[in-house]
Amino acid sequence: MLTTHPFDDDKLREECGVFGIFANTQAAAITALGLHALQHRGQEAAGIVSFDGNRFHLQHTMGLVGDHFSSEAVIAKLKGGQAIGHVRYATTGDTTIRNVQPLYADFEFGGFALAHNGNLTNAQTLRRQLVRRGCLFQSTTDTEVIVHLMAIARGGSPVDRLIEAVRQVEGAFSLVALTSDAVIGVRDPLGVRPLVLGKLGDTHILTSETCALDIVGADFIRDVEPGEMVVLDKDGVHSMRPFQPQNRRFCIFEYIYFARPDSVMEGTSVYQARQRIGRELAREAGVPADVVVPVPDSGVPAALGYAMEAGVPFDLGIIRNHYVGRTFIEPTDQIRHLGVKLKHNANRAMIEGKRVVLVDDSIVRGTTSKKIVEMVRAAGAAEVHMRISSPPTSHPCFYGIDTPEQSKLLAHRLSVDEMRDFIKADSLAFISLDGLYRAMGEPKRDPSNIRYCDACFTGDYPIALTDNLDSPPVEANAVRIRA
């Protein structure tokens, strides 16, 4: 219910989710289900690659997992007992089918498929070097550099080549790869993006979140460690450490908004984390009120925490229309201003004459917040107080989250007081950085030992932004459209 904001245009967006399984007679069907559970991590495209002992089978689609991969005929074509899959939300460049993952390539050693969650920060630098060497790129994704680095590696097994490749890339990455012998998972040395290991009978699974294990009835075993490579093959599960050890810096925004509330990440329930943030927020920035109202759907756990801590009734003062699809474009100019009403309606009976605390998880551009406040006020609220369960989002993410350019971030341009005026609330408060760390069980944010990646709030980027320092981004020379 609170898992996702499928159609919000004023939210940050996770780029990707990954899934891999070895070895199960239902490999492709299970991968499809896993991707369906990860749909909140990318709704733009999906893909599955399987291997049947002889050939690899690829299926890519634009759109939702269920629109393509729920067909028995499609699954029947994805033969074989090992498979990997990917859901994607594209951040830059072409949103065309050739960028849909998993990527596939024919190597001298045979076929190889790769699915990537995260973003490489030296991809363009590497790409320029590879093109100069004579490599031809078929996509505009950062992920493809890994494949070319493998192709020109000094040889050896697919695992050796993959290690040689990932040692050269910088950035955030949780990878799942498929060879004719194995399914391989790798997590970058800081562990910015999640990756977990699960078990279904004798079969092992690597995937982004535990909710993708739940849907197929698999048991959670453990998180893949930062900097760890896990190989699933016929001899079982093998763990390797191809990188120098570093301090872990898991993305704290996964707890605030990206992950599904029923997932458990690095040992912590996402739902409980959100509820604790809400409690902390009530302690830090409580205000006299008659009702606590979540901005649907993601604000619910934090709003419940806030309401419990503040002793104020919780009610669904805003109702969401679940039939809104991407396709509902307001049909004429004159009524285009209706905007937010297509998705939300104030529940007037619960709001009229009341002092309302609205709880939301973040403010990006601020446009939706402004409309929500206006709608609640028009429904007769006496006061409207906005409480946000994250610190102000003032910096872009380079590690796999789609953020607007910095100048579009409301918190980059305005102070909290100015933001309050912009959204026309009676008051506005964000949880503090230390409050956020307290909700996560830390005493505070310790600058000498920062536990999470919080660069979007602090600008403190834990991995070098090589491409950004070096040079302007490489634009693709071509626009491809395939009918």
Q: Which residues are catalytic?
A: 16
Which two structure tokens, joined as six digits, stand for 455? 């660069």
Is residue 284 helix, strand or coil?
A: helix
Find the shortest distance in angstroms from Cβ 214 to a second copy. 5
Q: What is the DSSP string of 81-124?
A: SEEEEEEE---SS--SGGGPSSEEEEETTEEEEEEEEEEESSHH
On whether 50 is known to bind a ligand per the annotation, the reply is: no
Under the binding rule (CB under 8 A), the answer on residue 345 touching a second copy is yes
SS3 19: strand
The H or E element containing residue 466 is helix 466-470
Q: Which of residues 384-423 bind a second copy (CB under 8 A)?
A: none
Residue 275's identity, in one-letter code, is Q
Query: Based on CB atoms, which residue is closest to a second copy, 160 or 262?
Result: 262
Q: Is 134 in the site for a second copy (CB under 8 A)?
A: yes
Q: Name which position in 11, 13, 40, 370 contacts a second copy (CB under 8 A).
A: 40
| 132 touches a second copy (CB under 8 A) | yes
- Does position 136 interact with a second copy (CB under 8 A)? The reply is yes
Name 209's Cβ contacts closer than 8 Å, sequence gap at least 6. 17, 37, 38, 41, 194, 196, 259, 260, 263, 265
- What six digits make up the tokens of 22? 């070895």
Candidates 14, 16, 22, 57; binder of a second copy (CB under 8 A) is 57
251 annotated as belonging to a binding site for a ligand: yes
Stretch in the footprint of a second copy (CB under 8 A) among 165-173, 269-277, 363-371, 429-437: 269-277
Retrieve residue 186's tokens: 């790798």
Q: Which range binds a second copy by CB under 8 A, 187-195, 348-356, 393-401, 434-442?
A: 348-356
CB neighbours of residue 239 within 10 Å: 12
Asked if 110 is part of the footprint of a second copy (rule: CB under 8 A), the reply reads yes
Shorter beta-carbon distance to a second copy: residue 235 or 323: 323
Under 8 Å between Cβ of 120 and 145: yes
Residues 58-97 that bind a second copy (CB under 8 A): 58-72, 74-75, 77, 97
Nearer to a second copy, 75 or 224 (CB): 75
53 binds a second copy, rule: CB under 8 A: no
Q: Which stretch binds a second copy (CB under 8 A): 29-37, 236-244, 250-258, 399-407?
A: 29-37
135 annotated binding-site participant = no
Query: Interface with a second copy by CB under 8 A: which range of 164-172, 345-353, 440-448, 459-467?
Result: 345-353
Cβ proximity to a second copy: between 184 and 346 the closer is 346
Parallel, antiparallel, or unpaired for β 219-223 and 196-200? Answer: antiparallel
382 makes contact with a second copy (CB under 8 A): no
Selected range binding a second copy among 256-264, 362-370, 381-389, 426-434, rule: CB under 8 A: 256-264
Query: Which of 9, 92, 217, 247 forms a contact with a second copy (CB under 8 A)?
Result: 217
Count of chain residues binding a second copy (CB under 8 A): 114
Contacts of a second copy in 189-208 (CB under 8 A): none
Contact 87, 63 (CB under 8 A): no
Task: For a second copy, give the closer residue by CB, 241 or 336.
Answer: 336
39 token code pair: 């749909």
Question: For residue 51, what are its two tokens?
Answer: 């291997």
Least separation in angstroms between residue 324's CB and a second copy is 7
The length of the chain is 483
Please give the residues from 275 up to 334 whose contact with a second copy meets the rule CB under 8 A.
296-297, 300-301, 304, 308, 313-316, 318-325, 327-332, 334
Choose, by CB under 8 A, the member of 9, 55, 239, 245 that binds a second copy: 55
Q: Are 298 and 323 in contact (CB under 8 A)?
A: no
How far is 143 from 210, CA to CA, in rounded Å?
24
Is there a binding annotation on residue 456? yes
Bridge pairing between strands 82-88 and 16-22: antiparallel
Query: Which amino acid is located at 50 in the chain?
Result: S
Site for a second copy (CB under 8 A): which residue of 93, 151, 283, 413? 151
Give the three-state DSSP class for 360: strand
Q: Which residues contact 318 (CB under 8 A, 6 or more apart)?
A: 293, 294, 295, 296, 344, 345, 346, 347, 372, 375, 376
Residues pairing with 236 in the sheet:
233
- CA distances from residue 50 to 113, 181, 186, 199 in whole angstroms, order as listed: 9, 12, 19, 19
Q: Give the residue, chosen from 156, 157, 338, 418, that forms a contact with a second copy under the rule CB under 8 A.
A: 338
Tell me whether residue 244 or residue 329 sits nearer to a second copy (CB atom).
Answer: 329
Q: Which of these ranges, 210-218, 249-257, 409-417, 463-471, lies near a second copy under the rule CB under 8 A? A: 210-218
Q: Rounded to an integer, what is the distance from CA 415 to the centroid of its chain?
A: 27
Q: How far is the CB of 412 from a second copy (least distance, A)?
A: 31
Residue closer to a second copy by CB (options 382, 476) is 476
CA distances from 98 to 46, 93, 95, 353 (A): 12, 11, 8, 54
Residue stretches of the annotated binding site for [4Fe-4S] cluster: 251, 397, 453, 456
Residue stretches of the annotated binding site for Mg(2+): 298, 360-361
